[in-house]
Chains A and B, each alone.
Chain A
């Protein structure tokens, strides 16, 4: 195969192909949910997923897929999708916490859980806070008591803090040069002057 693309001409493309075999399950690995923090005083927000084999690589992939564009980033969290406990969704003007009837356990042994709220359908889940609890249900009960500001919450994600991979505060310099990468920004491509100059020259040629 002769291509116009020199990169393609360097690829080992065979003369003929064997039969196409369907991909095995998990050929694309499992999924991780990625959360992005634009600035230190902003809450972490769900950005999307990456396919990755483990936490370390989910971070490597999530960082470039979800924080390479835009001017600032101060942190990335990732967690395996199956470690997220999702509550039912509510409707209209019924908040999740109006329906939830769990009791706080006040157990002696607790650990930290991160709570994410969906405050408007169609938007992203946003970090509401961290609670100490003895189980997912307990975490939701504590959230109901401490993170419920009376505004609408249509859905919550409850995730153990220890299940997250969180970027380190001292590594925030990884995003230091983001704002310099102007070549990725529309604002760096102004050329109206060139158009105006061209039109002027055309006019001179036509009428001069």
Chain B
């Protein structure tokens, strides 16, 4: 699960002034033909750096994203929900594994990526810094946060880097189960007993703000935007993703008789665009910079998990082992 919110570009980095113009032209021609770039192909340094950053943040979002829903694994009501939630959270861990692998093909070892997550140097999707108070919160995440992630991931899966596209294709296929499962849960809550309905409405009230944050603030054109679009690294703007999400899911929320806590939310019949109240972007920045309700807990849990597992990994390591960058 991943939003567009925090893939900051490598601002300090130079552009393509120092790249070999002939190789660069071949590289760009390949992308223009719709071919994928593979790990062994020549690529500009900016391309490599931006992709590592993006795929790594995506991977972190998966492994951290396993936590707020994991909260409800031991409490899921009934066999069907219990099995589904176990499998769903497992998938998120699996997605982290796939994405770390894709990032590794670009030359950054998994050790380094985990270090950067734990030290706070590298970010993950902001939405996972919010707590899941009731079962209904986990239903919201399974349906709508995953829906948002799929909008984003489907766009990225049309990008130019082969290993990332292949990982995303697998991830999107797996997440079709998450989306249906989440919708199924929300339908049962919203059409259930008055108490269930109330729980669902309250969860929606809590999560709508973070959900609007999910796709990130409106894009400001930065120095590299144009080139990253040309290289098919940046596939859609944050606002495009947000509009697509609203268009697909607001009617589905409304048909369940739930109220979205934004009186200004409506589709403009002339432009076809959704209008809404701007979410609190100051809060978004504050939470991204570490001051959200669950930032400390999320990183603490990851760190404890890493430290508790250290003796296991140490025991498994063979003296003759040697790291090789994975192939594809």
- Interface set of A (CB-CB < 8 Å, partner B): 1, 3-8, 11-13, 17, 20, 22-31, 33, 46, 48-51, 53-54, 57, 65, 68-69, 80-82, 84, 86, 88-89, 121-125, 155, 157, 181, 183-191, 194-195, 197-199, 202
- A13 nearest CB across to chain B (Å): 5
Q: Which residue of B lies closest to A183 (CB)?
A: B83
The 8 Å CB contact of B133, one of A4, A22, A57, A125, is: A4
CA distance A22 to B167 in the complex (A): 27
> In the complex the two chains form, is B162's CB within 8 Å of A122's CB?
yes
The interface bits of chain B over 128-149 (1 if a CB of A lies within 8 angstroms of the residue's CB, else 0) are 0001110000000000000000
Whether A49 touches B179, Cβ cut-off 8 Å, given contacts A1-B296, A183-B87, A195-B191, is no
CA distance A29 to B312 in the complex (A): 11
- B34 nearest CB across to chain A (Å): 9
Residue B71 interfacial (CB < 8 Å): yes
CA distance A25 to B324 in the complex (A): 12
The 8 Å CB contact of B326, one of A20, A81, A183, is: A81
Residue B316 interfacial (CB < 8 Å): yes
Whether A13 touches B71, Cβ cut-off 8 Å, given contacts A4-B132, A125-B328, is no
The 8 Å CB contact of B317, one of A5, A11, A22, A26, is: A26
Whether A89 touches B318, Cβ cut-off 8 Å, given contacts A13-B304, A31-B326, A84-B327, is no
- B150 nearest CB across to chain A (Å): 12
CA distance A128 to B317 in the complex (A): 33
The interface bits of chain B over 36-76 (1 if a CB of A lies within 8 angstroms of the residue's CB, else 0) are 10101100000000000000000000000001001101110
CA distance A31 to B71 in the complex (A): 31
> In the complex the two chains form, is B188's CB within 8 Å of A17's CB?
no
Whether A89 touches B40, Cβ cut-off 8 Å, given contacts A30-B323, A81-B327, A191-B184, is yes
